[in-house]
Amino acid sequence: MTSNRGSFTGKLGFILAAAGSAVGLGNIWRFPYLAAKYGGGIFLLVYIILSVTFGFSLMIAEIAIGRKTGLSAIGAFKKLDKRFSFAGVLAAVVPVIILPYYSVIGGWVMKYVVGFATGLGGAMAEGKFFDNYIATVGEPLAWFALFIGITAVIVLFGVEKGVEKVSKVMMPVLVVLTVFIAVYTICTMDGAWDGVLYYIMPDFSKFSMMTVVAAMGQLFYSMSLAMGIMITFGSYMKKDISIEKSTHHIEIFDTGIAFLAGLMIIPAVFAFSGGDESALGQGPGLMFVTLPKIFDTMPAGSVIGFAFFVMVLLAALTSAISLMETIVSIVMDKLKLPRKISCIIVLAVCLLLGIPSSLGYSAWDGVRILGMQFLDFFDFISNNIIMPVVAFVTCIVVGYVLKPKAIIDEVEESGRFKSKGLFAVVIKYVAPVCILLILISSVLNAFGVITI
């Protein structure tokens, strides 16, 4: 990818590739379980506010940095200011932490795809199916290896064009299916409406600092921010494409799909638990436990379940590809290795790193780091610690070293930057202060100093 910059097929190509990276398990798997856990409507509200201010500004900044420097994160930060080179390196570490555990979940999705295809739909709707499944050692590991292996093969053959094409078909189908499942659940299941209300009506008494911490981590994750990916995408972007409009498109799309995923899952949780709110706090297993139950009650449920999980799998793959592509291009650049060797090294490292996340639910389920499972720990350390640090440094570099004007000029290469006032204020003042507060509270919380 590094040798042929500017390779997107025009505006739509850029948006599709960036959306292919952004829309993934973060939207469909992670967003609903966080929204369920952190108070429903209040989480949604905080998320949307952060998305249109903070997520918007940071995404603009990253894309513009990439397009201005023509480099990916490590090189870009170094070029902008040597003192901040470490931010590029930190950003590069993030995908290395995320990709392995992301692939473990990708493996779970594959299992469900095959499950629906082979008539296991009914069995998967049983309450304990998912827990029992991840408590086995061999099968989840095998699916994980297959998922990451497929990702590696695709990256090896360098197929950004393929991602664009897949995204073009997958996104609309995913939206249609999600809407259909949400409407079906809400219209046919008793108690689902309470879930809708829980999800869209903010209950301010449920607000805590943790709502903001979780929402901000989710924002980085879902929009593929603070890990150098958008910088790399920006470096491939042509000057005549509007950064502002593209950012709006990606943002609306990404947040829209996350919203719909929540609307599909949370009301169903209410319906199946008979209003027992503890079901909301399930965490990572929520989607895998809830969806098969919906499909089980639906006419032709296993066909729809199969189709849905295939779309989730494609969304996960396009995201995993962008994660791996980023790591591979860094290895190629830094170690001056050919693509093939770099791919094999990255695959081997990610395979090793993913094993604890998978075994954390089975053979190693007694092990806790800071009170967390391996998978939760990797998720926490990347989303709630390293990414906020990278985002903070990005704001400081853009706000005070480079100055917002430089980014605004870059954006204006392709027309007027309408929200430049908002952008400058957020990047200089609002974002750094918020991120710092959030970072401190999530660290203190993790070490048990405070409970938020």
Interface positions with ligand PHE (CB under 6 A): 21-22, 24-27, 98, 221-222, 224, 227, 229, 319, 322-323
| Shortest spacing between CB 22 and ligand PHE, in angstroms | 5
Pick the closer one to ligand PHE by CB: 151 or 211: 151
Q: How far is the CB of 108 from ligand PHE (least distance, A)?
A: 14
Q: Closer CB to ligand PHE, residue 322 or residue 358?
A: 322
Beta carbon of residue 318, minimum distance to ligand PHE (angstroms, whole number): 9
Q: Output 424 or 435, the one with its CB closest to ligand PHE.
A: 435
3-state secondary structure of 366: coil
Closer of 94 and 125 to ligand PHE (Cβ): 94
Q: Which residue has the tokens 């170094």?
A: 78
Shortest approach of ligand PHE to residue 142 CB, angstroms?
22
Residue among 151, 177, 147 at smallest CA distance from 162: 151
* Contact between residue 54 and residue 434 where contact means Cβ atoms under 8 Å apart: yes
**Which CB atom, from 254 or from 428, has the smaller least distance to ligand PHE?**
254
Q: From the CB of 375, what's the least distance to ligand PHE, in Å?
A: 15
CB of 15 closer than 8 Å to CB of 250: yes
The residue among 234 and 404 lying less far from ligand PHE, judged by its C-beta, is 234
DSSP-assigned letters across all residues of 401-438: II-HHHHHHHHGGGS--TTHHHHHHIIIIIHHHHHHHH
Residues 6+ apart with CB under 8 A from 172: none
In whole angstroms, the minimum distance from the beta carbon of 412 to ligand PHE comes to: 28
| C-alpha dist (Å) from residue 390 to 90, 268, 432 | 7, 36, 11
Q: Which residue is nearest to ligand PHE (CB)?
A: 26
Q: Which residues contact 258 (CB under 8 A, 6 or more apart)?
A: 26, 27, 28, 31, 32, 47, 222
Closer to ligand PHE at the Cβ: 116 or 221? 221
| Residue 98: how many other CB atoms lie within 10 Å | 26
Query: What is the C-alpha separation between 129 and 410, in angstroms, rounded?
Result: 52
- Minimum CB separation of residue 276 from ligand PHE in Å reads 29
Closer to ligand PHE by CB, 51 or 302: give it: 51
Q: Which is nearer to ligand PHE, 246 or 319 (CB)?
A: 319
Q: Contact, 71 vs 79, CB < 8 A?
A: yes
The nearest distance, CB 221 to ligand PHE, in angstroms, is 6
Tell me how far, at minimum, the Cβ of 373 lies from ligand PHE, in Å.
19
Residue 13 burial (C-beta neighbours within 10 Å; 0-12, 13-18, 19+) = buried
By CB atoms closer than 10 A (0-12, 13-18, 19+), residue 309 is: buried
Is the Cβ of residue 90 or residue 125 nearer to ligand PHE in the bound state?
Answer: 90
DSSP-assigned letter for residue 119: T
Which are the contacts of 101, defined by CB distance < 8 A and separation ≥ 6?
A: 353, 354, 357, 374, 375, 378, 379
Residue 200 buriedness (CB in 10 A; 0-12 / 13-18 / 19+):
middle
Minimum CB distance to ligand PHE, residue 26 (Å)? 2
